[in-house]
Amino acid sequence: MITHRPRVAFLAASLLLTGCGGGAVATAGHAPESAAATATTSTPTPEIPLEVAPQQLPGLGPKTWAQVPSDARQAVVVTGSGKNSSQSTVVLYERSDVGWEAGDTWPAHNAVRGWTDHHRAGDLRSPIGVFTLTDAGGLLRDPGTRLPYDHGSGFTATGTGFEGEPLAGSFDYVIAIDYNRKPGTTPLDWTRPLGAGRGGGIWLHVDHDGPTQGCVSIAKEHMKELLLALNPDLHPVVVMGDAKSLAR
């Protein structure tokens, strides 16, 4: 268990400022009709199409796919509606022996100004890319995740969002996205390997019914479901960006 330090309240405040086919059908056969034989028919047996999971994550082009680590067996795919849109969807994929299998699709928000290939502190855009998911935390107690979980008051969210919605509860559950941070530390850790100018504090967190500063947010029940599903042994990653960028 990672514990927070006395400065976490200040860090949480800073985070708010920086971002948070169908087969053929067999035909019936008929026995020859004769005085000595009775005509018989057989019931056609349709071929059942087998659904084969894709070997590559759907929607990803060669440039994006090349960034997905070969050992990743779980991928949270965040697909933005447009480069400048704050609307997106989230799908958790898990890789089995037959390929990548998709879970449910959840509505989500991303940054108010959309997406960027070169995130900067305060640009109000979410970073495009593939990032590992190693650490979690929240204001609420650990719901049973296998990720290291930091529980404490440093995850208190205050104030209002871009549409006047209250931010309270936004950090009840969070998963740190390993963009410009040190993996293996609490989401509240302020280490910025790329420098402070490249932003940080990019999380998956509880949706507050509005766009974010840089994070990706989904409904509370979906955050809890995601926390329970992610398994460090499967090397989870998040693949995030607008649909056009991800298709490159």
The 10s digit of each residue's pLDDT in 117-162 is: 999 999 999 999 999 999 999 999 999 999 999 999 999 999 999 9
Residue among 183, 229, 238 at smallest CA distance from 68: 238
Across residues 193-218, what is the average pLDDT?
Answer: 98
CB contact burial 105-128 (16+ within 10 A = b; e otherwise):
ebebbbbbbbbbeebebebbbbbb
Tell me the C-alpha to C-alpha distance, in Å, between residue 86 and each of 47, 95, 143, 209: 44, 28, 28, 11
Domain annotation covers residue 175: yes
Domain annotation covers residue 153: yes
Domain annotation covers residue 27: no
Instruction: Identify the pLDDT of residue 51.
Output: 58
Confidence of residue 47 (pLDDT cuts 50, 70, 90): low
Instruction: Identify the pLDDT of residue 20.
Output: 76
Which residues make beta-bridge pairs with 126?
Answer: 115
Domain annotation covers residue 1: no
Q: Round to whole Å and give the CA distance between 228 and 161.
A: 27
Whether the Cβ atoms of residue 173 and residue 205 lie closer than 8 Å to each other: yes
Tell me how crowded residue 45 is: count the other CB atoms within 10 A of its CB. Answer: 9
Whether the Cβ atoms of residue 66 and residue 237 lie closer than 8 Å to each other: no
Domain annotation covers residue 50: no
pLDDT above 50: residue 91: yes
Tell me the C-alpha to C-alpha distance, in Å, between residue 57 and each of 62, 64, 76, 181: 11, 10, 10, 25
Instruction: Identify the pLDDT of residue 144.
Output: 98
Confidence of residue 32 (pLDDT cuts 50, 70, 90): very low
Instruction: Report helix, strand and coil shares of the chain as percent, to nearest 5.
Output: 15, 30, 55
- Give the H or E element holding residue 77: strand 74-80
Residue 68 belongs to domain spanning: 8-20+61-246
Domain annotation covers residue 123: yes
Across residues 222-230, what is the average pLDDT?
Answer: 98
Confidence of residue 46 (pLDDT cuts 50, 70, 90): low
Domain annotation covers residue 2: no
What average pLDDT does the chain have? Answer: 86
Confidence of residue 1 (pLDDT cuts 50, 70, 90): very low
Q: Round to whole Å and give the CA distance between 226 and 121.
A: 27
Domain annotation covers residue 32: no
Whole-prediction pTM: 0.81
Whether the Cβ atoms of residue 116 and residue 125 lie closer than 8 Å to each other: yes
The total number of structural domains in the chain stands at 1
Tell me the C-alpha to C-alpha distance, in Å, between residue 169 and each of 27, 101, 145, 157: 61, 31, 19, 6
Q: Round to whole Å and give the CA distance between 53 and 55.
A: 6
Are β-strands 74-80 and 87-96 bridged in parallel, bridged antiparallel, or unpaired?
Answer: antiparallel
Instruction: Identify the pLDDT of residue 54.
Output: 82
Across residues 200-223, what is the average pLDDT?
Answer: 98
Instruction: Identify the pLDDT of residue 83.
Output: 98
Q: Round to whole Å and give the CA distance between 187 and 138.
A: 9
